[in-house]
Amino acid sequence: MTATAGKVLHFINGEYTAGTGARTFENRSPVDGSLISVVHEASKADVDAAVTAARAALKGPWGRMTQEERSAILHKVADGITKRFDEFLAAECADTGKPRSLASHIDIPRGAANFKIFADLVKNVATECFEMATPDGKGAINYSKRGPRGVIAVISPWNLPLLLMTWKVGPALACGNTVVVKPSEETPTTTALLGAVMNEAGVPPGVFNVVHGFGPNSAGEFLTTNPGVDGITFTGETRTGEAIMKAGAVGVRPVSFELGGKNPAVVFADCDMDKAIEGTMRSVFANCGQVCLGTERVYVQRPIFDEFVARLKAGAEGLKLGRPEDKDTNLGPLISQEHRSKVLSYYKKAVEDGATVVTGGGVPDMGGDLANGSWVQPTIWTGLSEDSAVIREEIFGPCCHIRPFDTEEEAIELANDTPYGLAAAVWTENLARAHRVAGQMEAGIVWVNSWFLRDLRTPFGGSKQSGIGREGGVHGLEFYTELKNVCIKL
């Protein structure tokens, strides 16, 4: 029993289990509020059992395998996701309400790709070697060797559940670690399904474990405070990261954090307007604005400001809100009623702070069953001052504010005036300007004339309050491995 039977279970030591906890919680559809499944909430004893299984598995067959053997198994995991593509797709769309067209192109294929890329990459990573002189003239050789860090706690969010969870589990396992995953309480199903895929692929029991529940005083806290955990990788809100960092401080466990953002797009008058509109439409509204890399602040050079606002408005008003399975749906609901209340509080605040509502600003009339879903209108504002909470804080909804600027220097200053530093987009056809501005953006990821274009070998992460460390390519190895120096006297 995983999720399809209407119950979502933990996956501990290679087996699905309801655990020892008596508590369950409901997983409801953001589309129409209907009940999807009942999820078992892990007790402290369940989390302890998962960590114990993961520790034991480090010393079992997984720990004795060669890199080639582990990589071959991870390829089978990727193939297993692809084989069950429809099951994963249905589960992800049910939990999140996102359009099938989006999840089938991004979430599920990337979930599989995350295992292949790291399986191949880790096999081919070289380490350093230094020869040194010694007083006796015979010398010594130093070489470094990478080994797994140990048991990794993976805490993942709800916006891209399978994609972001496997983005951590893939490299963690490729490096020989074992994991205990705590998926978001909003989206437990695809992580639960992955347990069966792991078994089919031949991943030994205890290497991949899943516990369900919430953060404080629940599975999240039980996991991050468990002394058997050697490192914590987390994607989610900056405030949650602060709480997890405190938990990690006990026992001096390292953390890897991908946190929130308040990402700017800077659109220069010399841009290709069609491309800038198309890219900004995606970066503001994709996944109903629930993308950490999404744009919530748009700065447009004054000569093209009016045209840009008019065209983005037309684009937003052309978006079709609807059920995930409807072919013409561009936009789903927000993840939950709770998140909708948060987003709507910013819609209200924008008006209180004197914004001009260019479009949207409220709740759409969806009718029928959908009236019980967490829908909001795609929204664009102008006219806010930069100190408004709407400009300062991450909203995580289908909305943006557009402000005019005059000079390149002004645009850079406005874009960087934020405590966050995850991503930025720059739209210009001037090559020198593209390099100049990209170099000055205080962000871990800068896109020029594109958005969400990702080569999985490149570093991924944020500066300032948007994260600690980099995932992607060889960069994640800093967290997922321990580097040891061996010095041999000749």
What amino acid positions are annotated as catalytic residues? 258, 292
Rounded distance between C-alpha atoms, residue 469 and residue 459, angstroms: 9
The dihedrals phi and psi of 235, each to the nearest 5 degrees, come to -125, 125
Using CB under 6 A as the criterion, which residues of the chain lie in contact with ligand NAD when the complex forms?
155-159, 164, 182, 184-185, 214-216, 220-221, 224, 235-237, 240, 243-244, 258-261, 292, 394, 396, 422, 462, 466-467
Distance CA(72)–CA(119), nearest Å, equals 8
| Nearest-approach distance from CB 444 to ligand NAD, in angstroms | 9
Minimum distance from residue 225 beta carbon to ligand NAD (Å): 8
- Determine phi and psi for 175, rounding to 5 degrees: -85, 0
The residues, any chain, with a CB within 8 Å of residue 354's CB and separated by 6 or more, are 383, 384, 385
Lookup: tokens for 9: 């279970």
Residue 428 beta carbon to ligand NAD: minimum distance, rounded to whole angstroms: 25
Q: How far is the CB of 61 from ligand NAD (least distance, A)?
A: 30
Residue 37 CA to its chain's centroid (Å): 23
Q: Give me 356's structure tokens.
A: 């001009």
d(CA 3, CA 90): 11
Strand partners, 300: 267, 404
Contact 403, 414 (CB under 8 A): yes
Other C-beta atoms within 10 Å of 222: how many?
A: 22
DSSP 53-105: HHHHHHTSHHHHS-HHHHHHHHHHHHHHHHHTHHHHHHHHHHHH---HHHIII
- The least CB distance from residue 260 to ligand NAD, in Å, is 3
Q: Alpha-carbon distance 363 to 378, whole Å?
A: 9
